Structure 1
Amino acid sequence: MIGKHKTDLATIIGLIILPIAAGIGICLMMILNNIDFSGANSGRIIAGIIFFFGTGFFYFSRLRSKKQANDNLKTLDHKVIKVKNEFGEFTFDSTNIEDFEFSVEQIDEETFEGNLYLVDHEQRRHQILGFDDETEQYVLNDLKWFIEFFMTHVGLPLS
């Protein structure tokens, strides 16, 4: 089985729960203490609230999409890759795989996200792996290594 997403407790607490709790706490403090929203520093406070909520919800949506992508069941059998997702169950071998593709995106200042896709003869893309790292070159090297591994596994010629 490939790519079961691990839920990192430190990430959940540090990047999701704490920022959202800080945003809620600042909002409650302003409301309960009758702080004037049109005061001299209110713009900075509101920007801080937006920053905390934005950070928390950004990392929450990122964690959720990564978990959903990696929760699709992928199994390696003898010269076969089996993929089970919301669209059905597929079995791929050298006769029905067109190619493997990858994408790399910079998702924030220090993080690059890489995704590996299997492309079938109907040009449908099935995500096989998704991961991230701080260095773009590491993500590229890992993706290229996995492409060679999967091509060798199913018996496709390396290009």
Structure 2
Amino acid sequence: MSRAAARDAQPFGERFAWRMVGMFAGMALLLVAGTWLGGRGTPLAAVLIALPLTYGFRWRAASDEARPGRALEDERDAAIRARADVAFRRAASCWFGALALGLSFDAGRALLAPNGYAVPALLLLGLVVANIAGHATVGWRYRQDRA
């Protein structure tokens, strides 16, 4: 199957979701490596700037994909997005609950004390991980639906 045929076989939402999983994984690596290991605030600022842009990325991708007389999304897509929203909320809740629990003990706070960027980076990393969970759910559901 040619690359164009394979692309047309995948729904827009699935292609976009897998691209975003890759982008968010890169953001997570940048955040962990630069903020925790490097002890700098630049990766934190970069992720804070890039995160709101992801909504613009979806709008741009959808406008590039739009073809006259063809709908990009239907009821199936709305149901898949609803499942992804649930995955996002669960991942965010688990992350922030575990973070709150970990920071409620002296040992957890002591690990983060030397780096002033660690707590903001952990908060932002939780949001990035929740986005990865949501987009991975979208991609997985489309593949499951196609099989």
When normalised by structure 2's length, the TM-score is 0.27
Q: Which has the higher strand share?
A: 1
TM-score by length of 1: 0.26
**More helix by proportion, 1 or 2?**
2
